[in-house]
């Protein structure tokens, strides 16, 4: 049987590790040709590519800091040049800095805006010039846009709230081209940045109906659905996948 994303081209920003790597591998397994960006982890990025190629897929890694406008635009251009087009953009690259608002550093605020918001805008703007009709944009937001049961996440929540608003409005801009735009809001997920056995894990699990962290493959599975043909009528949505964190 033909794989559901056969003939499609996907670009995943921040695709060298954790959720991004899981998404890249899943979309490749579904038949897409995949490009990933990475900032400072070439070994991890190349390992993702090797894994995809070993499974019979086609993939390329592109160095591009999500805060660097020229690099992000170039990554889109290289994806199109390598694979002949683009059908799926997954805005995944992100950064998380916690801190009390009274002491929060301006440089950390600027960094989060640059990567979590401006980076999404730049990648989306550039990709929208090339996205084929019926394409997909999937933004990786966070449940923290809706719920923060602990202090210190206000600036992070600000950036993810911006992603949710951007997603909803952008769906109107791109709807005439049959391009869907959706925002995926994971809860605590077992990643390098927030491991399931980390110092805050037990506290986070206590807020969750299922009492456990998500696995990156579970997040990737929902991305796969949104990227596929069955999700063609879903757009402008913020979809939470959080094990009941916000319940």
Tell me how far apart the alpha carbons of residues 194 and 216 are, in angstroms, rounded to a whole number: 11
Q: With left for phi above 0 and alpha for psi between -120 and 50, is residue 14 left, alpha or beta?
A: left
91 is written with which tokens? 């805005």
Instruction: In whole angstroms, give the CA distance from residue 116 to residue 183.
Output: 13
Q: Would you say 112 and 97 are in contact if contact means Cβ atoms under 8 Å apart?
A: yes
Nearest to residue 150, comparing CAs of 113, 188, 122?
188
Could you confirm whether 156 is annotated as catalytic?
yes
Instruction: Give the side-chain half-sphere CA count within 13 A for 17.
Output: 14
Separation of alpha carbons 58 and 46, rounded Å: 13
Of residues 156, 207, 213, 245, which has the active-site annotation?
A: 156
Of 215, 207, 85, 212, nearest in space to 148 by CA? 207
- State phi, psi for 177 to the nearest 5 degrees: -95, 10
Residues noted as catalytic: 156
């Amino acid at each position: 049987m033909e794989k559901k994303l056969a003939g499609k081209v996907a670009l995943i920003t921040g695709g060298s590790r954790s959720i991004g790597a899981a998404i890249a591998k899943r979309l490749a397994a579904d038949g897409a040709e995949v490009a990933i960006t990475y900032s400072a982890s070439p070994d991890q990025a190349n390992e993702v590519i090797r894994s995809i190629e070993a499974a019979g897929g086609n993939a390329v890694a592109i160095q591009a800091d999500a805060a660097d406008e020229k690099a992000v635009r170039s990554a889109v251009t290289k994806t199109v040049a390598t694979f002949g087009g683009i059908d799926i953009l997954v805005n995944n690259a992100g950064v998380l800095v916690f801190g009390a608002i009274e002491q929060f550093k301006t440089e950390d605020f600027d960094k989060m805006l640059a990567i979590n918001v401006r980076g999404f805008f730049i990648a989306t703007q550039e990709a929208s010039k090339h996205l084929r009709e019926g394409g997909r944009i999937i933004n990786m937001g966070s449940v923290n846009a809706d719920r923060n049961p602990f202090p210190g996440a206000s600036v992070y929540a600000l950036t993810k709230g911006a992603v949710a608003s951007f997603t909803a409005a952008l769906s109107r801009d791109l709807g005439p081209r049959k391009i869907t735009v959706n925002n995926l809001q994971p809860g605590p997920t077992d990643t390098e940045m927030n491991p399931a056995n980390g110092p805050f894990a037990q506290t986070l699990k206590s807020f969750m109906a299922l009492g456990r962290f998500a696995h990156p493959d579970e997040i990737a599975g929902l991305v796969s659905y949104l990227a596929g043909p069955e999700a063609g009528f879903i757009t402008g949505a913020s979809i939470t996948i959080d094990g009941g964190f916000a319940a």
